[in-house]
Structure 1
Amino acid sequence: MLYTGIHHVSLVVMQLDRSKYFYGDILGFKNIERPDFDTDGAWYQVGSTQVHLIVYPEGKTLRGTSKLDKDDGHFAVQVDDIDALIERMDRYGVPLLIVQAENVGGQRVYVNDPDGNLIEFKGSE
């Protein structure tokens, strides 16, 4: 058996419109078709991986904080221009944490989605 990659990451969100604005408009992730499920949600394509948003008000996976903390659970997205990402987050007023991490290839940027899900962005090495 050979693992060939991560197909998708699923995140619990509380308000779909707010989350779709963040992932689609602010981050610019590509919205893709989602099958008809009995719960609301949205799917996005990010490179070869998908991000699935699931509306689940009773969800137990929400962090319960909006503190930007590089050591908390998160998923990471590779970007080709970390400076452009920083400028985009500034333009939309998204708080961010910039960490210099030369031991793992340079600058990292952390942001929260509207529900406190932590996302790391790393530039190409």
Structure 2
Amino acid sequence: MHITKLDHVNIRTTQIDAMTQWYTEVLGLSIGPRPDFSFPGVWLYTGEAAVIHLVGVDRLPSIGADLKLEHFAFKATGAEMFQDRLRTMGIRFYQENIDSINQTQIHLRDPDNNHVHIDFISGE
């Protein structure tokens, strides 16, 4: 076996509408087909790839059952356009330049406070 890329991220949320709106409006993902599961959810796509699976829940796990995931990231193009969109929408973010790998990272938080970063080739 050889893993070649991350397929998708599954996020449990009590705010499925707000999360769907954020990922479509801020990251430009689109709502797409999803199997007819017995629980609520939305699959969000870039092109033909479902990269975010949102699962609607009534409540999140109790204290002590915290997820240990620090962040997830997407590679993208159009850094300047993306930063302009974030500023226009009033979304807080910070930029980090990683010169050793020629990468610019834009760090932000979704409505559930998940850390997301978008990676761009520096100076594109």
| Counterpart secondary structure, 2:95 | strand
Deviation, 1:46, is: 2.8
Gaps of 5+ in 2: none
Deviation, 1:37, is: 1.8
Query: Contact 2:32–2:50 at 8 Å: present in 1 too?
Result: no
The match for 1:96 is 93
Gaps of 5+ in 1: 64-71
Q: CA RMSD in A?
A: 2.1
The match for 2:107 is 110
TM-score (norm: length of structure 2): 0.81
Counterpart code for 1:25: E
| Counterpart secondary structure, 1:77 | strand
Question: Could you tell me how far apart the structure 2 residues matched to 1:36 and 1:82 are?
Answer: 36
TM-score (norm: length of structure 1): 0.80
Query: Contact 1:111–1:120 at 8 Å: present in 2 too?
Result: yes
Question: Could you tell me how far apart the structure 2 residues matched to 1:2 and 1:94 are?
Answer: 37
Deviation, 1:24, is: 1.2
Query: Contact 1:42–1:54 at 8 Å: present in 2 too?
Result: yes
Question: Could you tell me how far apart the structure 2 residues matched to 1:90 and 1:80 are?
Answer: 17
Counterpart code for 1:88: R
* CA shift in 2, pair 1:38/1:89, >3 Å: same
> What whole-Å deviation, never above 9, does each CA across 1:8-39 have from its counterpart, x for those lacking one?
11112221111111011222102111112222
The match for 1:19 is 19
Q: Within 5 A, what are the aligned runs for 1:1-40?
A: 1-40=1-40
The match for 2:53 is 52
**Sequence identity (%):** 24
